[in-house]
Structure 1
Amino acid sequence: MILGWVFVPVYTAAGVYTMPEYLRLRFGGQRIRVYLSVLAILLYIFTKVSADLYAGALFLTRAMQWEGELGLYVAIIVLLLIAAVFTIFGGLTAVIWTDAVQTVLMIAGSLVLCIMSFIAVGGYDELITQYFEKMPSPNVTAYDSANQSCSAPRADAMHMFRAAEAGKSDLPWTGMTFGLTISAIWYWCSDQVIVQRTLASKNMVHAKGGVVLAAALKFLPLFLLIFPGMAARVLYTDTVACSDPAACKRFCNSESGCSNLAYIELVLNLLPKGVAGLMLAVMLAALMSSLTSIFNSASTLFTIDIYTRVRRNASEMEQVIAGRVFVVFMVAVSIVWIPIINSSSSSQLFVYIQSITSYLAPPICAIYLLAVFWPRTNEQGAFWGIMIGLVVGMIRFCVEFSYTVPPCGSDEEDLRPDWIKAVIFDVHFLHFGCILFLIVLISVIVISLLTEPIPEECLHRLTFWSRHSTEPRKPLPSTLLEMEKNPIREEPAAAGGAEPPSRARRLFNQLCGVEERTGEAAVNPRDRLTEEQRAEEDAASLYEDPKQRVIVNVSAIVSMVVAIGMYVYYR
């Protein structure tokens, strides 16, 4: 809801296509834009591409019975080849259409599996009872120092608001309430993968309708994923709930645990063979959808926000090729990182993703919130604030993965220094995200107040308070200075029209997803407008049909009321 009602109106009124592009207009200069593009790509590598490839490879190796690490990497190669076909022959339009079709398949298949899971365990009440009572065989269970099974479920498993004290909860209520909110604002409101789809909508009502639909779909994972996952622990306890490092290594090639196999076990063992094959296709479709979205977004960020800084006059063809080459490089780094994920201290892939996000995303969240809501924020404050956040976050990131936490019940010696345990590991990653957010927020505010403010005439339609302004927006002084130093050379127009491309060139364009435009078609219609006309057009883009606006507003309120009700019920 924050995306549709707060951020998208600002982005639309600003007339931007990428998130760093918005910050470029908001603050001027290039260093923030380039920095955030690089950071976004790092997040793609560590939390999206590598995690998606790892999850898909687990599914394929289990389904195809490919053993060991060799089978894992064969599965990764297969996934990449399929994703490459989607990405090369598609683009954002292809991604959106495939997402729409695959969403229907995913929901239908997951719904069937959910129903069969509840039937297999005897219903909801029986599921909750057996989840706490069912324990794996002694030969796959490790024991801690108090001789308690490491496979035992937590006593607070059915509660969302858990103890906030360090060491007493895996998900403290303070971190769940505030830490996840910070990560969610970054993900939903400033992440290129998500926002680019919203900015592709025809008008504001369509954008808001899209986010309301996304909100409705977000209720489904509790029933389609979480409860079936609990059922998997009941039905396949030895595999899903194993805690003995040697046994887990044998089951899933990871000593930290095999809970990542929960959904896979349901699909392969509970469903009939034909339906299981359909679900395999659905799961792969979901992964392909995610990967292609990430590849397109990363390619856009790299070419528009980084590559064109090096090659200011690069042609569209050159930009496309550079984007494709960069995606290959990004995938290579992600594959190298996969063994780190496999050996991470948490056996839960989702927890790994959230922890990495809590180390890197809070500075971005702070910058976007201040950029949208506090006009006094300037470039110096924003840049040095995110640099401070990067240093602090990377320290936690590096320490986290430099020391291996022995699995529960393991005989391995804990080599972590006491001060590392106290300062780093005893601070939950969700709490660390809150601390990092406050550090960046205070740093940006203090530095901005100590330096020159941005002129008001340079902020029209760039903040929430000025989104409806029809005044022409003046370029920032730093932007004008940069344009003087690095003017963009205009290519002379071809006399008498351009020659049509050869057959080989047309084939190459089709493979790379390039549409070459010449003559009048190559001119952006906005380039013919005056500054006053552009301002009026941008402000008019926020118009909403009154009747449709009421519908989406009421739908948003209903979604939020239902969400609050579920929080209260599972408190």
Structure 2
Amino acid sequence: MISTIDILICMAYIVGIVTIGLWYGAWKRNKVSGANSNDYFLAGKSIKWPMVGLSLFATNISCVHLVSLAQSGFDTGLLNGNFEWMAAFTLILLALFFAPFYLKSGVSTLPDFLEKRYNRACRDWLTIISVFSAVIIHIAFSLLAGGIVLETLFGINMYISVSVIAVLTAVYTIVGGLRAVVVTESIQTIVLVCGAILITGACWLKIGGWAPMMEVLTQHHQLNKLSMLRPAGDSSGMPWYAVFLGYPVLGVWYWCADQTIVQRVLGAKDENHARVGTLFCGFLKVLPVFIFVLPGLLAYALVQKGLLDIHTLNGVDAQGKHVVNSKGIYTLMITQLLPTGLVGLLVAALLSGLMSQISGALNSISTLISFDMYKRFAASTTDRQLVRVGRISAGVALVLSIGLLPLLNRYESIFNGLNDIIAHIAPPITCVFLLGVFWGKASATAAKLTLWLGSLLGVVVFALGKFYPDSALGHLPFMMTAFYLFCFCLFLQVSLSYVYPVKHTAQSQVLYWHSAWEPLENKGWPGIGNYKLLSALLVLTMAVLFWIFR
């Protein structure tokens, strides 16, 4: 339980964010453009690069990351930091190849792009999958992580606490649209990062620095916890080759083909702002390993030295063995290592992650439902009607997400549960987008069948792995599952593209890069803001970091 002062700080933060979201999203938007759907869903395409980068980062980082990455740091060390650092490479792909392409095509949603490049069936399928993934991955898992923390800190039922926060977030998101989302996310990113740095510093000071932690890891034969790239056969199930083969499949879908993420890029002022903002996010992705994952590893060392009491996390598994429910480790770090007042700031940071993730996903869902579903059957609909439909669909999605919490809470690790689901969703979408953007011979029929059959296979493989956990599928690491499913989809689409040859329309003829150099013809801004220079610098930075923590 936390003090009255900390509770007041949290309440003040929530009221402040909701007020800013309502003012900036509703009052200012109506003052400028009234009920214009382009302004509501894409912020009038006026977002500059700092907000593009901060908003991308905030939409990606949520309570799931603060809670589950600390849990993974406690359990397996820095290993899951691969998901953060590998993201930099897919963000480079987004900046160099996908972002300029999406802006050039003038689409409002990614399903809209698939229809122009392939056909209507592809658009409809991606819309369904995108809404499904936004509800589960971006909202429900975030609510679960936030609920665990809030229940532990305040003693309030998890479902009640997250419902209240979700409704408050939905108020300014549904009223204000993307402009409200981007502005509040930019603020929340700063609060979230400051809070994460605060808890990292508290852990660091408590244990006494790097040397005492290394001493603990050496004594307990846990030096491998510092390694990001594990050898083949590692007990984690995520050896180095699984990272480099499997992550790109997940990453291209998440960063380059997921509406919730890419919508910030679609709202950019121009191509240069989109590219530089995306690369800015790539540099920000260096931080999570040090401020989200490392605190969990420091907590492990603190426990071994008797400086952090985890008796409240002790339990017994189904086989009667003593286990530690590490889902709650972040909460213990907050309550045991921080003084009154700072606890409130940390909870505000957690709420930042939770609210920014929910707001981004709700805006994405409302855009997809309005443009890709409702407008199809009501082509003459007005902007005001589109906005109203978007608001209603966001509210329904929020209710569905809350209803999924008991099911998702069955996963022992929130982060692994999240990526396990992504691994079975992403492969066909990643395949269809990559071939669609880079290969002119990719046909509409082949894309449609790849999406259908690839998604069906993903569901079958997921179900078999859960119903038969002792089978080969049950033991296959999710990263390798994603890679194998992607290989199947790639073979399927390429083969079917020759069986059913492409028949380009005047529109689709220009909706793929005719050479790998074509998207790089734009010289970009001069000096340090040049997207080519920033891309090279980001690659070099990540290569050095992986070498240090190999």
The answer to whether TM tops 0.5 is yes
**Contact (CA 8 Å) 1:245, 1:257: kept in 2 or not?**
no
Superposed displacement of residue 321, structure 1? 2.7
1:287 and 1:3 mapped to 2: Cα distance? 25
Secondary structure of 1:465's match?
Answer: coil
Question: Which position in structure 2 is the counterpart of 1:36?
Answer: 126
Which AA in structure 2 matches 1:156?
A: N
Question: Which position in structure 2 is the counterpart of 1:565?
Answer: 544
Superposed displacement of residue 248, structure 1? 12
Superposed displacement of residue 83, structure 1? 1.1
Which AA in structure 2 matches 1:461?
A: V
Matched, 1:100 2:100: no
Question: Which position in structure 2 is the counterpart of 1:436?
Answer: 485
**Contact (CA 8 Å) 2:163, 2:402: kept in 1 or not?**
no
Secondary structure of 1:106's match?
Answer: helix
In structure 1, the gaps of 5 or more residues are: 135-152, 250-254, 404-415, 470-538
In structure 2, the gaps of 5 or more residues are: 1-91, 303-307
**Contact (CA 8 Å) 1:4, 1:208: kept in 2 or not?**
yes
Question: Which position in structure 2 is the counterpart of 1:7?
Answer: 98
**Contact (CA 8 Å) 1:114, 1:228: kept in 2 or not?**
yes
Question: Which position in structure 1 is the counterpart of 2:317?
Answer: 245
Matched, 1:234 2:301: yes
Task: Provide Cα deviations, 1:53-98, integer angstroms capped at 9, x if missing partner.
Answer: 01111121122123xxxx1111121121221222123211111111
| Shift in alpha-carbon separation, 1:399–1:330, aligned structure 2, 3 A | farther
Superposed displacement of residue 550, structure 1? 6.5
After TM superposition, the structure 1 stretch with the greater mean CA deviation from structure 2, 154-163 or 379-388, is 154-163
Question: Which position in structure 1 is the counterpart of 2:246?
Answer: 179
Let me know the Cα RMSD of the aligned residues: 2.8
Superposed displacement of residue 131, structure 1? 4.7
**Contact (CA 8 Å) 1:372, 1:462: kept in 2 or not?**
yes
Question: Which position in structure 1 is the counterpart of 2:382?
Answer: 315
Question: Which position in structure 1 is the counterpart of 2:461?
Answer: 396
Question: Which position in structure 1 is the counterpart of 2:64?
Answer: none
Matched, 1:352 2:417: yes
**How many residue pairs end up in the alignment?**
454
Using structure 2 for the length normalisation, give the TM-score.
0.77
Question: Which position in structure 1 is the counterpart of 2:84?
Answer: none
Which AA in structure 2 matches 1:58?
A: I
2:204 to 114, 118, 137: 118
Superposed displacement of residue 373, structure 1? 0.4
2:226 to 134, 158, 170: 158
Question: Which position in structure 2 is the counterpart of 1:85?
Answer: 171
| Shift in alpha-carbon separation, 1:269–1:237, aligned structure 2, 3 A | closer
Matched, 1:58 2:148: yes
1:454 to 483, 503, 506: 503
Question: Which position in structure 1 is the counterpart of 2:7?
Answer: none
Structure 1 or 2, whichever has the larger Rg, is 1
After TM superposition, the structure 1 stretch with the greater mean CA deviation from structure 2, 231-240 or 182-191, is 231-240
Question: Which position in structure 2 is the counterpart of 1:500?
Answer: none
Secondary structure of 1:4's match?
Answer: helix
Using structure 1 for the length normalisation, give the TM-score.
0.74
Superposed displacement of residue 310, structure 1? 3.1
1:20 to 107, 111, 114: 111
Aligned counterparts, 1:170-569, within 5 A? 170-235=237-302, 236=308, 238=310, 242=314, 244-245=316-317, 258-344=325-411, 347-401=412-466, 403=467, 416=468, 421-455=470-504, 457-465=506-514, 544-548=523-527, 551-569=530-548
Superposed displacement of residue 261, structure 1? 1.9
**Contact (CA 8 Å) 1:182, 1:433: kept in 2 or not?**
yes
| Shift in alpha-carbon separation, 1:84–1:258, aligned structure 2, 3 A | same
**Contact (CA 8 Å) 1:160, 1:570: kept in 2 or not?**
yes
After TM superposition, the structure 1 stretch with the greater mean CA deviation from structure 2, 367-376 or 284-293, is 284-293
2:458 and 2:109 mapped to 1: Cα distance? 24
Task: Provide Cα deviations, 1:163-189, integer angstroms capped at 9, x if missing partner.
Answer: 334x74331222211111110111111
Which AA in structure 2 matches 1:289?
A: S
Task: Provide Cα deviations, 1:239-261, integer angstroms capped at 9, x if missing partner.
Answer: 59746239999xxxxx9853222
| Shift in alpha-carbon separation, 1:324–1:132, aligned structure 2, 3 A | farther
2:539 and 2:193 mapped to 1: Cα distance? 22
| Shift in alpha-carbon separation, 1:552–1:458, aligned structure 2, 3 A | closer
Q: Which structure has greater helix proportion?
A: 2
| Shift in alpha-carbon separation, 1:50–1:280, aligned structure 2, 3 A | same
Task: Provide Cα deviations, 1:544-566, integer angstroms capped at 9, x if missing partner.
Answer: 54515863322221111111111
Question: Which position in structure 1 is the counterpart of 2:5?
Answer: none
2:215 and 2:329 mapped to 1: Cα distance? 18
Which AA in structure 1 matches 2:250?
A: S
Which AA in structure 2 matches 1:127?
A: M
| Shift in alpha-carbon separation, 1:427–1:360, aligned structure 2, 3 A | same
After TM superposition, the structure 1 stretch with the greater mean CA deviation from structure 2, 547-556 or 192-201, is 547-556
Question: Which position in structure 2 is the counterpart of 1:492?
Answer: none
1:117 and 1:395 mapped to 2: Cα distance? 43
**Contact (CA 8 Å) 2:94, 2:255: kept in 1 or not?**
yes
| Shift in alpha-carbon separation, 1:449–1:89, aligned structure 2, 3 A | same
Task: Provide Cα deviations, 1:426-473, integer angstroms capped at 9, x if missing partner.
Answer: 21111110010011111011111111322374434311227999xxxx
Question: Which position in structure 2 is the counterpart of 1:515?
Answer: none
Secondary structure of 2:530's match?
Answer: helix
What percent of counterpart residues are identical? 26
Question: Which position in structure 1 is the counterpart of 2:10?
Answer: none
Greater RCO, 1 or 2 (C-alpha within 8 Å, sep 6+): 2
Which AA in structure 2 matches 1:34?
A: D
1:453 and 1:245 mapped to 2: Cα distance? 55
| Shift in alpha-carbon separation, 1:247–1:58, aligned structure 2, 3 A | farther
**Contact (CA 8 Å) 1:239, 1:258: kept in 2 or not?**
no
Question: Which position in structure 2 is the counterpart of 1:512?
Answer: none
| Shift in alpha-carbon separation, 1:256–1:49, aligned structure 2, 3 A | farther
Which AA in structure 2 matches 1:343?
A: R
**Contact (CA 8 Å) 1:256, 1:343: kept in 2 or not?**
no
